[in-house]
Structure 1
């Protein structure tokens, strides 16, 4: 968290902690925090501007937070600390507010059925016997407007704390009756002109759908049997486009949409007319929508913000308990306001990450606006004193989301440098570089034209780079990484760019094994890799393929228990309608498959192959050539040739093959490749040879290198650790089944 340092004098009792005198801000609603020593939770800070009525905000644990509505230009904000019935300190802060009218706004819209009763759900104790102040259309408009300004202030403060400056979306505003304070509502009833302001516009969108159509259980998102669970999002999008104006696709609007006619059906125990859905379309309409069924718990105006976020009354049985987390009014308010902002996050392109985009708002939402929270019925925990930067608060934006927002014009600040489309969309580059001129042969190189702001290994962030100290290029040598991390275990890597784009690797050791060379640590020996790849693999998306592949390496010698080398004595080439793989047999009767060792259920993998063939490797001979054939998409043939001229395996007559051979000064010491995993055949998609210098003795340490093992294929431990009777099918149906022991490599 980034704190704003404010000079403190010995006579100062009230000190602001997140803003400085003379700052310029670009959003209308501002969240201010400060310190104010106090001995009672009954104490408060009074905050006022010349253009907005005085508001009272509680002091708890020596801290306070407040929301301030600004007017364009210079704003003189007065803070008065009231303790034990006395004013003990005051402070005047000058802030300049400049609306960024050149940036596109977030639009607020309410969709209304064509035969709507213009009422929203509300428990009896909230609306009283006849009052509709919390349940009619005006109430929905006022609550939506107040909530949107709370979103704006929360987002700006969160991004400021992350080091991204105080930035947020602006709201589409119009000259109309101001409702952000009850004083303005009262003045509007008195026909005084003082109630008019430029404030957030709420578009009322009539849909051609009837109340019955909107409340059809088949479009209710929370209905597990709904046939059109995303139907309401389609209805809302169509209604906005039909409304036209700012909602035409050519305007590329981003919309927060509230469905007025949501309701809880006690008979069906289902919330009807509601869907929490959001979708981003930078070339058209982006909509994040939510039902109105929790809106009764939201504040109508500033004077109700604190009370709504501290209200421990039970909503009761007449309204829906969304997600089972609405046991009190304040929790209902948190779910409603937070989940709606979650959908707006989707409209701004945010995926499911952490914080707000992972339901972090459910219990933590009030921590953004209060310094002490109320009892939570869902967790059965007492309220917390809130210390920003120390108290856990998941009602915030994930850093990647906050960074990606910067690429939207809605969040642009005048000080922002121009970011080209190529840079704004660039993914971080992560690759292993081999340089035989360097002492350190292998380096992990991470770079991005947008700069890198965070690197995590195994979900732990490095000290640098950071938002305050980004980097264009970061390097780690293989030795550095092995000194810090266990190379026998997967090492996850996450790289985050300044543009919000990220790259995630489940195991970066794989990147080293995929290099065309493998330097042997502590020596000058380099092993080389050559392979033949199927056309389908060459055309595949690497990330998608990695999730469904088994990476393997098999050496032609294995390390025995006493440290001696045990040679391979035969190879079984497994070929059927596709290249299934191969199995290497060692002199001690152990085997190692060129392919998966087990399936996704944990059972031993069985190789098929009606055209399979076994080839013996006599002592003193070696494999000198490997031929691989393919059809239009898949590898479908494999043949080995030995130094004595013997060849074994199968290549279909109608297909040509490609040969893999060592150079004159090298010898083949093993094989490597990738197989489908979890597919119908689990066929080989890449088959290659591993070569070493011919006249150099390979150290025994090579046979323990993680990247030269076929342990788990990069997929973790065996699924259910099941074993079953299996055999290698060589076409001899008379051969008895034998128990195959779990392979140990």
Structure 2
């Protein structure tokens, strides 16, 4: 008895090529399944096919004809083991198709690379233009079937792009239709509409296209992206259907790509794809692996299992084409990767991260793992499928318009959701959330099968699951395919408070300056106490305010001789690690053990960052420079003080990767509360080398752009700071009355 695992009897489908899978109960391990396709009137609609059985499991590609298709499957172990299902194929001619095009040089020999092992009876069996077109056509239908199955398995309904087809063209999808078919093969008694492939004639010679400077895999090439431009220009010159106004999406094959053994270089090839929602979208790939692709449906199982080494006359692309089946997988899969770019997919996961290379075969043929919950990486990322679903090429009847708004993040303030609530993050999307990921793992309760408009991530639960200080990437994917990402800890650090885990204590924050885009700034925090090497808390002994023409930042000195910068750590090529800050107006202010910082003034008028900073102690002493000028606006000077009942315990801010401080703020705590020592262990309130290294390494793991810095240990000061070893000029007891009046 046949059991189908991915399709139902009577199902209506909208693409010509359909991948079906299932198993035969109580069937011997090996053998084959014979597939017959007929109409309701018992007319043959497509030649019979055979697909292998592995451990009783099977997969088969069906080529359908518009209308009702009666599909009968029979086991090779006996005609009595058979099953018939009915599928109704409805072509959606109103949707824009994926176009297929082949670029041909003006003096092309119309041949593709082909190793001797693929010659068969004739050297042109797999290398002629006709063979290349047949292989390209069948490959596109395989892409179509794979994509439809991916949509179905992810709960988005069976859908795929349609191919531009033309009635009356010779069909090449079965060897039965080939002019070289064995004697007596009957011509199909019905009208065919195979995928149309446009021959695009380039105004260039083969030598021009194969110039090593244009070879994408030539590390010294100076025009490695030019083949994409050449192809795009030739398509537009060809005219319809490739006009800009038509906004076509095109899969383009470079026919004259060829491997040059004497140079060990692949010429005339580029694997590139680009999406232009207002014009021509194109993904291109060379023909150098096309020899390994199947020409006919009957050749699919063989081509995907052929372990013959191709030899030295053809390209071993990326070192992955050591057998013919691997060359087939890399060629068909990498080309689909570029088509994915043409549809707007980034480098996400699965196919868009080369998941096709090892696992292409598992999509189309059953494997030894078939009975054990087979998994593989040759898939479309869910975010890509949602992105595709919003395109016209993937629309199906019954689709409703989805709100086009981007997902959004909101900070939940403490107590906002009820008594005892510690706050957190709210994820919103008016069109529905299809997926929410934290560090790449999908959150439960969010699904494309049951999208929600809002997800709440509580701070307490986040702190239990993830470590503070290391990037926590939050990705929200809307049902419209749009997505937004953020670092949760960085987002929460932008709020006006910090929750101390395990307590009810809230530290408050105030800041002056402008935020830069993610990846263009380094955020930091420095407390006026820190944990020493013996585990005891060490207080600050002085603050070095580094002001020149602008505000570089500050350096906090501690009584154990260590320093921590309010800004970037930078390796200066010496044995020690230093902050590297300049500032001709730099001054230090000594802190007695009972000293308290009570006010900070910041000049926000600097064009490249903050123009200056000055701070005051409770005893009236002040230090720093605001760099005020006669043209400065009063509004440029921001005064930061603690709320009533709070005191300043540290600073926080952000420094541009060029080294200038562009945000500076204060961290305050309740004066009537004894702060637990754990406050000074919180990574988001530290800027020592250990935390910096974690942030740096964590950022690499998340693929974030960060300035490259080599950090090994904290800075050691030679001097022993007792408050008496500094020059008198380093201390300024003047009170800046003008700045205080600006409060």
TM-score, length of structure 2 as denominator length: 0.87
Compare 701-710 and 172-181 and name the one that shifted more.
701-710
**Which of residues 396, 404, 407 is equivalent to 2:390?**
407
Superposition pairs of residues 500-519 of structure 1, within 5 angstroms? 500-505=481-486, 507-519=487-499
8 Å Cα contact 2:35/2:71 also seen in 1: no
Question: Could you say what secondary structure the match of 1:199 adopts?
Answer: coil
The separation in 1 between residues aligned to 2:454 and 2:110, in whole angstroms, is 57
- Work out whether 1:244 is the aligned partner of 2:233: no
8 Å Cα contact 2:497/2:508 also seen in 1: yes
Which position in structure 1 is the counterpart of 2:71?
77
8 Å Cα contact 1:295/1:333 also seen in 2: yes
**Which of residues 37, 47, 52 is equivalent to 2:36?**
47
Superposition pairs of residues 516-527 of structure 1, within 5 angstroms? 516-521=496-501, 525-527=505-507
Query: 5+ residue gaps in structure 2?
Result: 39-43, 698-708, 728-743
The separation in 2 between residues aligned to 1:638 and 1:478, in whole angstroms, is 33
8 Å Cα contact 2:549/2:583 also seen in 1: yes
Which position in structure 2 is the counterpart of 1:467?
448
Which position in structure 2 is the counterpart of 1:152?
144
The separation in 2 between residues aligned to 1:364 and 1:600, in whole angstroms, is 47
Question: Could you say what secondary structure the match of 1:200 adopts?
Answer: coil
Question: Could you say what secondary structure the match of 2:519 adopts?
Answer: helix
8 Å Cα contact 1:611/1:650 also seen in 2: yes
Which position in structure 1 is the counterpart of 2:205?
210
- Work out whether 1:627 is the aligned partner of 2:627: no
Question: Could you say what secondary structure the match of 2:223 adopts?
Answer: coil
- Work out whether 1:444 is the aligned partner of 2:433: no
Superposition pairs of residues 269-348 of structure 1, within 5 angstroms? 269-348=264-343
The separation in 1 between residues aligned to 2:187 and 2:142, in whole angstroms, is 27
The separation in 1 between residues aligned to 2:8 and 2:186, in whole angstroms, is 38
Which position in structure 2 is the counterpart of 1:419?
402
Question: Could you say what secondary structure the match of 1:174 adopts?
Answer: coil
* Deviation digits for residues 98-142 of structure 1 (CA, Å, limit 9, x no counterpart): 111111000001111111111111122322464423111111111
Which position in structure 2 is the counterpart of 1:646?
621
Which position in structure 2 is the counterpart of 1:572?
544
The separation in 1 between residues aligned to 2:180 and 2:677, in whole angstroms, is 88
Superposition pairs of residues 342-491 of structure 1, within 5 angstroms? 342-372=337-367, 384-387=368-371, 390-420=373-403, 422-423=404-405, 426-429=406-409, 431-435=411-415, 438-487=419-468, 489-491=470-472
The separation in 1 between residues aligned to 2:312 and 2:503, in whole angstroms, is 74
Change (3 A) 1:701 1:119: closer
8 Å Cα contact 1:428/1:497 also seen in 2: no
Superposition pairs of residues 128-167 of structure 1, within 5 angstroms? 128=120, 130-167=122-159
Give the number of aligned pairs: 691
Change (3 A) 1:578 1:486: same
8 Å Cα contact 2:151/2:158 also seen in 1: yes
The separation in 1 between residues aligned to 2:302 and 2:283, in whole angstroms, is 27
The separation in 2 between residues aligned to 1:321 and 1:334, in whole angstroms, is 12
The separation in 2 between residues aligned to 1:600 and 1:55, in whole angstroms, is 70
Compare 140-149 and 187-196 and name the one that shifted more.
187-196
The separation in 2 between residues aligned to 1:129 and 1:24, in whole angstroms, is 42
Which position in structure 1 is the counterpart of 2:20?
32
Question: Could you say what secondary structure the match of 2:582 adopts?
Answer: coil
Which position in structure 2 is the counterpart of 1:721?
712
Displacement of 1:617 after TM fit?
2.8
Query: 5+ residue gaps in structure 1?
Result: 1-12, 373-383, 736-745
Compare 453-462 and 61-70 and name the one that shifted more.
453-462
The separation in 2 between residues aligned to 1:41 and 1:599, in whole angstroms, is 64
8 Å Cα contact 2:119/2:126 also seen in 1: yes
Which position in structure 2 is the counterpart of 1:615?
589
8 Å Cα contact 2:31/2:76 also seen in 1: no
Change (3 A) 1:698 1:131: closer
* Deviation digits for residues 522-541 of structure 1 (CA, Å, limit 9, x no counterpart): 655433211111xxx44x3x
8 Å Cα contact 2:216/2:270 also seen in 1: yes
Which position in structure 1 is the counterpart of 2:739?
none
Compare 152-161 and 604-613 and name the one that shifted more.
604-613
The separation in 1 between residues aligned to 2:2 and 2:424, in whole angstroms, is 53
The separation in 1 between residues aligned to 2:435 and 2:665, in whole angstroms, is 36
Displacement of 1:624 after TM fit?
1.8
Displacement of 1:664 after TM fit?
4.4
Which position in structure 2 is the counterpart of 1:22?
10
Displacement of 1:695 after TM fit?
4.5
**Which of residues 170, 173, 184 is equivalent to 1:180?**
173
The separation in 2 between residues aligned to 1:485 and 1:725, in whole angstroms, is 32
* Deviation digits for residues 485-520 of structure 1 (CA, Å, limit 9, x no counterpart): 344654443333323333344x52333322112244
**Which of residues 512, 518, 528 is equivalent to 1:543?**
518
TM-score, length of structure 1 as denominator length: 0.87
Compare 508-517 and 318-327 and name the one that shifted more.
508-517
8 Å Cα contact 1:219/1:227 also seen in 2: yes
The separation in 2 between residues aligned to 1:193 and 1:460, in whole angstroms, is 50
8 Å Cα contact 2:402/2:479 also seen in 1: no
Question: Could you say what secondary structure the match of 2:241 adopts?
Answer: helix
Which position in structure 2 is the counterpart of 1:224?
219
